[in-house]
Amino acid sequence: MKVVKNNVLHFVLSLSLVVVGFSSCSKKSSSSGASRATGWNVSGKKAGSSKVQTAGPGLVFVEGGTFTMGKVQDDVMHDWNNTPTQQHVQSFYMDETEVTNFMYLEYLDWVKKVFPPTEESYKHIYTGVSPDTLVWRNRLGYNETMTNNYLRHPAYANYPVVGVNWIQAVEFSKWRTDRVNEAILEKNGYLKKNAKTDEVDGESLFSTETYINSPSSTYGGKNEEIALKKDKGRKVSSKSKTPTTATNVYAQRSSGIILPEYRLPTEAEWEYAAAADVGQREYNIYKGQKKYPWSGSYTRSGKRQTKGDQLANFKQGNGDYGGIAGWSDDGADITNAVKQYPANDFGLYDMAGNVAEWVADVYRPIVDNEANDFNYFRGNMYTKNKIGEDGKVAIVTKETIKYDTLSNGKIISRNFPGQIAQVPVDEQETYLRQNFDKSNNINYRDGDKQSSIYYNFGASESAETKDGKKMYNSPKHNVTTDSLGKMQRKYDKSSKRTTLVNDEVRVYKGGSWRDRAYWLDPAQRRYFPQDMATDFIGFRCAMSRVGPKSDKKKSARN
């Protein structure tokens, strides 16, 4: 009997040692970087390790959440284009201020250096990105000082840039993406120092997407010379004395250092960030909806130190853009320098007043929350990388730059050398999908043939187009070039047009220095042609957040 007990005790002790051994092995395996899927060592990284995204230059973090998009009071215009809907916005980053003249001049200087306007191949690029300074002119007003000085004079350096159309704002965002990632790669040792200035010309450029998809094609194919090998070239193993191949020559998305693209914010993102309802949250609910980006129903400050001061730059009445000289007003008659008024609860400045701002969305009167209530956006144009005859991605060269002639005759380059040419997605990507079935989704559920009051099921689309029975019958201005290269502008004088809404009008948000207080409400929405510019519309950039909704753990108690 005693022998049996000893055997059982011996078995239990042995089993305990085995379990402890497995446990220690598992812990050792996990800490050594072994994959939880296969047990293999994955690139020497810790298993399941993650890297938190860092904010790009000029950006602040906006934690996403639910909010009421649209206006709930004082709809004096009765236009019914901002009916309240419940939406959810994913976390993102947004520019702390509007893009300033100084920031845009950095872009202009870079373009002028890389694409000299004196060269025939590049003559339209610089003029295409330049703001329209003539927006300041007025038939019955003297504004030549702003026409000549606003963009370039140092006194206006920190004022928001104006005269930029929606297309130019999008191109600036793309340029900014490439310059920021170029600097990050240099800082992390993937590009040699000063490559971003010393190696750049019209045929040797850095593009983020080109670097990711075809890194050897970056800088016009010179990237092999510019890239720094992270292991400093060939090494000799201490055990085998055999040279090993260089690794980690290029960064990838998996490296975690390349930032997502700068872009225009969507209308939902902009409105959510401007309203900043987080400042009046109590537990997991909002205490009502704000009328302005700040708390309260008035445009003047109620704080003891600044009582009576205006909280934004806007038109206070007929002929009153800045109040009486020497009295407490908004401190500006046109635009004002950024950061002159208090930030909202997300830390964003001038989300009301100063200049209105372009957002990414194509304008439609209705926000279709029945179709989607998560990251709402109208304007998706899905594209893919163009593949050349050699089976590789097609890189744009100075001979293959595409230009667009806008309705006002302005010529703008669609792409830059060094970028990957884009083409619409086709059946290879859309076949049997449930979430999208074509490249252009601007008219989805609103403005397409099926949405028209004239829709005749079974009739051909060409027949309906021929009759002119379309939901959005807007003017069609035509710009062509004759055999001598002279531009012919044909203005649409038809009296049968029924709307100004089409697929080329974009939403702009926020009141400006030209607007009354009514337009300072973040829910207000207006539209303007994407290829035209004004003296009261500017823009700021946004960037998507990758990873968790927030860096801090939340609980229901706070």
Enumerate residues 6+ apart whose C-beta is below 8 A from 407: 477, 479, 504, 529, 531, 532
Check whether 9 has a pLDDT greater than 60. no
Nearest to 223 by CA among 207, 238, 237, 234: 207
Which structure tokens are listed for 504?
A: 């080329």
If one compares 506 and 327, the residue with the highest pLDDT of the two is 506
pLDDT surpassing 50 at residue 249:
yes
- Predicted local distance difference test score (pLDDT) of residue 96: 97
Query: Is the pLDDT assigned to residue 261 strictly greater than 80?
Result: yes
Q: Tell me which residue of 237, 459, 451 sits closest to 365, measured CA to CA.
A: 451
What is the DSSP code (8-state) at residue 228?
P
pLDDT of residue 537: 98
Residue 32 has pLDDT above 80, yes or no: no
- Compare 241 and 383 and report the one with higher pLDDT: 383
| The CATH fold of domain 51-190+251-378+505-551 | paralog of FGE (formylglycine-generating enzyme) (3.90.1580)
The yes-or-no verdict on residue 468 having pLDDT over 70 is no
State the Cα–Cα distance between residues 505 and 532, nearest whole angstrom: 10
Q: How confident is the model at residue 455 (pLDDT cuts 50, 70, 90)?
A: low
Share of the chain above pLDDT 90, in %: 49
Which pLDDT belongs to residue 26? 47
> Average pLDDT of 425-446?
91
Q: Closest Cα to residue 314, out of 517, 506, 510?
A: 517
531 pLDDT higher than 70: yes
pLDDT at 308: 76
Q: What is the pLDDT of residues 350-399, one digit of tens each?
A: 999 999 999 999 999 889 888 999 999 999 999 999 998 888 999 999 88
Give the residue from 67, 73, 111 showing the smallest Cα distance to 90: 67
Confidence check: pLDDT of 4 > 70: no
Is residue 83 over pLDDT 50? yes
- Amino acid identity at 84: P
Give how far the C-alpha of residue 538 lies from the chain's centroid of Cα atoms, to the nearest Å. 14
Residue-averaged pLDDT of the chain: 84
**Domain positions in the chain:** 51-190+251-378+505-551, 194-233+245-250+381-441, 447-502
pLDDT (0 to 100) of residue 462? 47
Looking at residue 459, what DSSP letter applies?
S
Q: What mean pLDDT do residues 419-432 have?
A: 94
Does residue 118 register a pLDDT over 60? yes
Between CA 456 and CA 464 the distance in angstroms is 8
90 vs 390, residue with greater confidence:
90
Q: Bigger pLDDT: 398 or 229? A: 398
pLDDT at 43 (0 to 100)? 60
Question: Which range has highest mean pLDDT (271-280, 479-488, 539-548)?
Answer: 539-548
Q: Which tops the pLDDT comparison, 216 or 79? A: 216
pLDDT tens-digit series, residues 277-326: 887 777 777 777 788 898 888 888 888 777 778 889 999 999 999 888 88
β-pair type (537-538, 356-362): parallel
- Containing H/E element for 356? strand 356-362
36 to 32, 40, 48, 51, 52: CA distances (angstroms): 11, 8, 8, 18, 21
Q: Identify the pLDDT of residue 246.
A: 45
Span 37-74, pLDDT tens digits:
877 876 655 545 567 888 999 999 999 999 999 986 76
Confidence (pLDDT) at 347: 95
